[in-house]
């Protein structure tokens, strides 16, 4: 590394350890407050987002985002990429049936090199399926027109976290993204909880697929209350966990071996199936339970519905979910008054996520800490690509996945069920900043494979030109004097790009 690069890295690291403070500027066609609001609203700025904001205004844009009328339409080239992914074009039941058949064939093979090779190929296939789900989430985040929804999809994927390497979870991730989280990201919280409760990815990750009468597994029951709905120290007891685990007995996954289980005339009417989800009454404990002080009569799957209704209507749930949303969008320590207003909306609307988010985005507290909320790696990577390439469809999303891996926040890679931390302290170490500088340089110099399709030897699109109207209208007026001083020292457009993307102004929002 030549001396100037070392100096530039040192300068950038020093700047990043202090939150950006915007300098005063003259009137522009796009105010600093507008830019700050959009940075909270979405994964950073691009021309389409700013244009839409100017055309609609803040209130109308928020309304369209919350009622989901902007849709999920992606650029045709991105849509084609997603359609080419096996995990998105093949029904989950077909995928799981295929791997089960292969596993049975492998099991029947004699030990030796051939068996090891076939098993290795199956594992590689599963890794590819998981990689497709990671890429799909990143592509949606970069190109999705409803940026508020895209942030919520990422937030809920992390809140209801699953771990790809466990069991068959990596094969189930695409279904989890597209059919569980995305359709419910702006709906009723109860419906979102019920969707995750019935998802194969969650049932396998937290072991409820093995939860049966006489062999009770409490893992999912505990995390459902502690991490998904109520939070720690919210008043539930170990007995509540045990009772909820009994309620959840029989909640699992339908067999995919082509031989569905047979039920007698008494049990058959109690079976519940939805896709691969199955409530098996033969595995259920039908005794009465007492959860959070309320008796739930043994009746089958209706016990689960009653339990979820009871849990999500607890004041502690409204408080817990509202605070987590405020921590992500507003501040690591959000104002108690804001959280209280959001929780009140949650209770009044029966857990309507869109209305809770509306309360937050219409509050004065939303922008009170503007420029002080540090981006987690997902936000940093996505916002950098959105700004640098400004809507141009990339041809290869694998570098995006690799950058998140380098930044120690791999999608679906959190082994514990608490999800990745999203606070400033977790991501602002000097080591993290050095990695961000390297990624900013890869994006800013064009030394990446984003525009080189897999298997192609064609050169990429070159380095991006960030000194555009978008920059001068929406970015430049908000930059701190320290960042301006650093940019002046760049000796090329590529270095200028790198300094901008790695600046504190673009690492904070």
| Angle at CA of residue 171, ends 170 and 172, nearest 5° | 90
Q: Are residues 384 and 435 in the same domain?
A: yes
Structure-token pair, residue 77? 């080239």
Q: In this structure, are residues 95 and 129 in contact, taking their beta carbons and an 8 Å threshold?
A: yes
Judged on CB neighbours under 10 Å (0-12, 13-18, 19+), 255 is: middle
- Are 351 and 383 within one domain? no
* Residues 354 and 456 grouped into a single domain: no
Give the count of domains, the chain: 2
Helices (H), ranges, 184-300:
189-197, 200-205, 219-223, 238-247
What domain range is 29 assigned to? Answer: 3-72+372-390+403-507
The CA radius of gyration of the chain, in Å to the nearest whole number, is: 24
Distance CA 312, CA 156 (A): 16
Contacts of 265 (CB under 8 A, 6+ apart): none
Nearest alpha carbon to residue 448 among 502, 484, 402: 402
Over the chain (509 residues), the average pLDDT of each successive run of 10 is 42 48 45 93 96 95 96 94 95 94 92 93 96 98 98 98 97 98 98 98 97 98 98 95 98 86 91 96 98 98 98 98 98 97 98 98 93 95 97 96 98 98 94 96 94 78 88 91 94 96 94
| SS3 letters across 99-152 | HHHHHHHHHHCCCCHHHHHHHHHHHHHHHHHHHHHHHHHHHHHHHCCCHHHHHH
327 with 454, same domain: the answer is: no
User: CA 448 to CA 377: how far, in whole Å?
Assistant: 18
Same domain, 470 and 412: yes
C-beta atoms surrounding 401 within 10 Å: 20
Are 46 and 10 in a shared domain?
A: yes
Q: Does any domain span residue 220?
A: no
For residue range 14-44, list pLDDT tens digits in order: 544 444 444 433 334 568 899 999 999 999 9
Question: Do 422 and 499 lie in a common domain?
Answer: yes
Predicted local distance difference test score (pLDDT) of residue 186: 98
Output the pLDDT for position 456: 77
Torsion of CA 142, 145, 151, 153, to 10 degrees: -100
42 closest CA partner among 210, 126, 155? 155
Q: Which of 146, 126, 127, 137 is nearest to 82 (CA)?
A: 137
- Same domain assignment for residues 381 and 441: yes
Q: In Å, what is the CA distance from 497 to each residue of 7, 25, 423, 480?
A: 16, 22, 26, 16
Does 346 share its domain with 376? Answer: no
Whole-prediction pTM value? Answer: 0.93
Looking at the fold, whether 355 and 411 belong to one and the same domain comes out as no
């Amino acid at each position: 590394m030549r001396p100037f690069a070392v100096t530039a890295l040192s300068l950038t690291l020093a700047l990043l350890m202090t939150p950006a403070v915007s300098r005063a500027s003259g009137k522009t066609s796009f105010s600093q407050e507008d830019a700050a609001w959009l940075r909270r609203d979405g994964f950073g700025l691009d021309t389409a987002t700013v244009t839409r904001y100017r055309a609609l205004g803040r209130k109308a844009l928020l309304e369209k985002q919350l009622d989901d009328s902007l849709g999920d339409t992606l650029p045709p080239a991105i849509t084609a990429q997603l359609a080419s992914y096996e995990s998105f074009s093949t029904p989950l039941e077909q995928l799981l049936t295929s791997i089960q058949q292969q596993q049975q064939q492998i099991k029947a093979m004699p030990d030796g090199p051939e068996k090891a090779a076939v098993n290795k190929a199956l594992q590689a296939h599963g890794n590819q399926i998981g990689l497709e789900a990671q890429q799909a989430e990143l592509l949606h985040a970069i190109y999705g027109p409803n940026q508020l929804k895209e942030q919520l999809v990422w937030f809920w994927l992390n809140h209801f976290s699953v771990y790809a390497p466990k069991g068959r979870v990596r094969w189930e991730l695409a279904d989890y993204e597209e059919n569980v989280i995305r359709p419910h990201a702006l709906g009723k919280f109860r419906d979102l909880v019920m969707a995750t409760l019935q998802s194969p990815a969650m049932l396998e990750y937290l072991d409820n697929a093995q939860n049966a009468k006489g062999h009770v597994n409490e893992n999912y029951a505990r995390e459902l209350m502690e991490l998904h709905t109520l939070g720690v120290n919210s008043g539930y007891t170990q007995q509540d966990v045990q009772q909820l685990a009994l309620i959840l007995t029989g909640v699992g996954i339908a067999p995919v071996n082509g031989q569905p289980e047979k039920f007698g005339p008494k049990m058959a009417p109690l079976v519940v199936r939805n896709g691969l989800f199955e409530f098996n009454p033969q595995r259920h404990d039908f005794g009465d339970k007492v959860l959070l002080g309320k008796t739930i009569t043994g009746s089958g799957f209706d016990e689960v519905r009653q339990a979820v209704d009871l849990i999500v209507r607890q004041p502690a749930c409204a408080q817990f979910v509202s605070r987590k949303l405020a921590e992500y969008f507003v501040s690591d320590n959000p104002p108690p008054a804001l959280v209280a207003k959001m929780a009140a909306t949650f209770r009044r609307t029966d857990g309507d996520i869109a209305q809770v988010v509306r309360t937050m985005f219409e509050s004065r507290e939303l922008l009170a800490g503007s420029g002080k909320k540090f981006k987690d790696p997902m936000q940093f990577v996505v916002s950098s690509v959105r700004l640098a390439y400004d809507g141009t469809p990339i041809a290869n999303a694998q570098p995006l996945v690799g950058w998140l891996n380098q930044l120690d926040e791999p999608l679906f890679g959190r082994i514990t069920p608490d999800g990745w931390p999203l606070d400033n302290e977790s991501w602002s170490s000097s080591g993290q900043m050095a990695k961000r500088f390297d990624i900013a340089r890869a994006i800013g110099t064009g030394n990446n494979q984003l525009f080189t399709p897999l298997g192609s030897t064609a050169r990429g699109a070159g380095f991006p030109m960030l000194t555009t109207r978008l920059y001068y209208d929406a970015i430049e007026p908000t930059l701190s004097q320290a960042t301006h001083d650093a940019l002046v020292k760049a000796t090329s457009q590529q270095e200028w790009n790198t300094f901008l993307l790695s600046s504190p102004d673009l690492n904070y929002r």
